[in-house]
Amino acid sequence: MLNDLGSWTAILLGGLVVTIQLAAISLVLSVLLSATIAIMSISPWRLLRIFAGLYVDIFRSIPILALAISAYFGLGSTLARLGITSFGTAVGVLTLIEGAYLAELYRGSLESIRTPQWDAGASLGLSWTSTLRHVILPQALPPAIPITLNMTIAIIKDSSLVSLIAVNEITNVANQLIAVTFQPVEIYALVALLYLALILPLSQASRVIEGYVARRLGIGPRTERERALRQLTSASELKVG
């Protein structure tokens, strides 16, 4: 029995590597995409704001599984011609959808930096983009770190969905193993342990950094009540689950 658990874990670890690769690449692309969209949504150019708003509204309304299946099987011939595999499709889908949620969160972060900061930049003769670069972004960065860490956790969890478009991440590998061994209880227990091992350290780190940012840098809500109110009134920005 112990032998079996050992060999199963070895097989599952192969899947976990793919999960990590998938999540890492999607995360990097999401951060780049979301930062761009967030900046667009607070920019003074109306067309950019509208585009950013549309992107966020659309991609936060589509379930990941619906987009993944539609893209992979619907656009399959196009994807094949471009040489995009199921892994690539998975990265694209995760980036687009998680990116939309992250963009909203980044936007909230940017908007929480109050007007006096922008005015200060303007009074120094800085253009909008310069003010953004030198005054606003440095202040928005520290709170963005725990936000991004939390989104990393969400991406890792959502990566399990692409098992249904033949990406060999850990959930898919587990299902393949169960199809041969007929032992779902033990194997899903191992899968759960592996996800926990990956995610719990990240959520702990996120909490520590959030606390550090709040205490040392004095950014963020001051009282518990303020924090609670902020949390309750920004639920629509978060991805639940």
Site for another protein in 131-190 (CB under 8 A): 153, 156-161, 163-166, 168, 171-172, 175-176, 178-180, 182, 184-185, 188-189
CA distance 93 to 142: 27
Binding flag, residue 81, another protein (CB under 8 A): yes
One of 122, 195, 205, 209 touching another protein (CB under 8 A) = 195
Binding flag, residue 209, another protein (CB under 8 A): no
Choices 26-34, 74-82, 109-117, 128-136 (CB under 8 A): range interacting with another protein: 74-82
What residues from 3 to 22 belong to the interface with another protein (CB under 8 A)? Answer: 14
Looking from the CA of 69 toward its CB, the CA atoms found within 13 Å total 7
CA distance 97 to 104: 11
Q: How many residues bind another protein (CB under 8 A)?
A: 72
One of 23, 27, 39, 67 touching another protein (CB under 8 A) = 67
184-219 in b/e form (b: 16+ CB < 10 A) is: eeebeebbeebbeebeeeeeeebeebbeebbeeeee
Binding flag, residue 60, another protein (CB under 8 A): yes
What's the min distance (Å) between Cβ of 190 and another protein?
11
Q: At what angle do helices 137-158 and 2-41 cross, to 10 degrees?
A: 140
